[in-house]
Amino acid sequence: MAEWLIYLQSLMPEGERCWADVPQDVLSLVLSKLFFRDRCNFKLVCESWNLICPASRPLPPPTNSSEFESPWLMVSQRSSCSWKIFHSLYNDIYYLDFPELANTEILYSKYGWLLMSKQEFNLFFFNPLTREKIELPAVGESFFSVCFTSSPISSDCVVFGILSSSTGFDIDFSFIQRGDEKWETKSFRLGSKYFWMSNCPPVFLNGVYYYLDCKLRNIIAFDLIKNKYDWIKCDEYSETSTTVDQEEDEEEEEDEEEYEDEEESEEEEEEEDEEEYEYEEEDEEEDEEYEDEDEEEEEEDDKEEGEQEEEEQEKHKEITHQIYMVEVEGDIWGIFVTNYEKRVSVKKLDLSEKRWVKLESLGGKCLYISTNGSFAETCSVDGMANKIYFNKFHGKNGIIYSLTSGMYHSVGGYFASKESFGLTDVDFGVWIKPTLDM
């Protein structure tokens, strides 16, 4: 996948060259640059190349290795203390036991830490790499969606969550800062406005918590310091439809001009025919009647075609199935999975214009997306930029979505499709980037 080439020049005659004679240090160098199916192909060259590959790779990888910080997908097995761990770079599955997480639920993941709940109201942070646990005071009500602002070992870490008692006309939320002894709860009444609640975790940016509407993609911004909220009504849909209407209007105007030109030319021809063939006047009148009837039929056909186009547009209108938000270098990105084919689009929130702007590229980033936490990473492996990791699988292979190809691809296999049919969604799974912070 990397854009580099190692050229091996043998000193032996061509007929006596053998791949098995390549020095082991050279093979190890080549192997260190390979990932996914390339490693599998490497092992198939010959027996000596296969022996270079370790039988199994340790998890977590050595802290001094390039693979150490590669994100994991952690999947709860629910009925036991065992957790399934999918390593994104190895495209391999491991099982680790975490007795500390028995009978718990993942609420959120970021900065290498999990925010867990036990019996709904008992919350704690957990680092799966160091197994450090940080308890929080009990909360009085369960959360609909929750996040935290920084590493839990930091004194300025704040946990902020939307309470399950919230409705579309009012938002109830609680928050607590590390070291405080109890949660603070507040409510904002939205009046006549209605907000479609989502389980997409809020995103913290520049002292403000942004919470996404699951249907209209509007935003509520909570400022705890100023004790106020802002309703950000994004005009994405009106802007998109206006653009479509403009294109359709231009096409209709061109069609009308062509139609008028045709009518004018037909009238000129008819006048010439009348001057040259006056004796055929009655026949021409009959022909005009037939033309009028034909024009009426054409208008009816155009009307039917227009109605069919409107129906087709309604069918293809975006239906949002899944939404995610992530903070990327001072911007908020939204990831929208739409329609029954589960097409994916990434859009940046333009706060000044109050609209979502579609991104064609992730700019050297790859995204790790799950319901209970998402984050962006600068790609450490060539070829992985502009990709999105979901908690989906094709058989035992992880799934990425490429913005470049507009397709879902399996990491280690040969699956590629514009649709997500046949893929397995993993429930109770969350992405996490390993950290040794203690």
- Going by C-beta distance under 8 Å and a sequence separation of 6 or more, which residues neighbour residue 342? 321, 322, 419, 420
Read off the pLDDT of residues 28-70 as tens digits, 9 standing for 90 and up.
666 655 655 565 566 567 766 666 666 556 666 777 776 778 8
3 — pLDDT class (breaks 50, 70, 90): very low
Q: Is the pLDDT of residue 100 over 70?
A: yes
d(CA 132, CA 348): 35
Q: CA dihedral defined by 224, 226, 227, 228, rounded to 10 degrees?
A: -100
Please choose, from the candidates 109, 71, 128, the residue with its C-alpha nearest in 3D space to the C-alpha of residue 371.
109
Number of CB atoms found within 10 A of residue 323's CB: 19
The sheet that has 72-76: what strands, in order across it?
92-97, 82-87, 72-76, 429-432
- Residue that wins the pLDDT comparison between 359 and 45: 359
Structure letter (DSSP) for residue 19: G
Q: pLDDT > 90: what percent of the chain?
A: 41
Q: What is the mean pLDDT of residues 77-86?
A: 84
Domain annotation for the chain: domains and CATH numbers: 14-52 (no CATH), 72-236+319-432 (2.120.10)
Handedness of CA 135, 139, 142, 145 (dihedral sign): negative
pLDDT digits (tens, 9 = 90+) for 220-261: 999 999 999 999 888 654 333 332 233 334 444 555 555 555
Predicted confidence (pLDDT) per residue in 173-220, tens digit: 999 999 999 999 999 988 888 888 888 999 999 999 999 998 889 999
Dist. CA 321–CA 341, nearest whole Å: 10
Range name among 84-88, 147-151, 377-381 with the lowest pLDDT average: 377-381
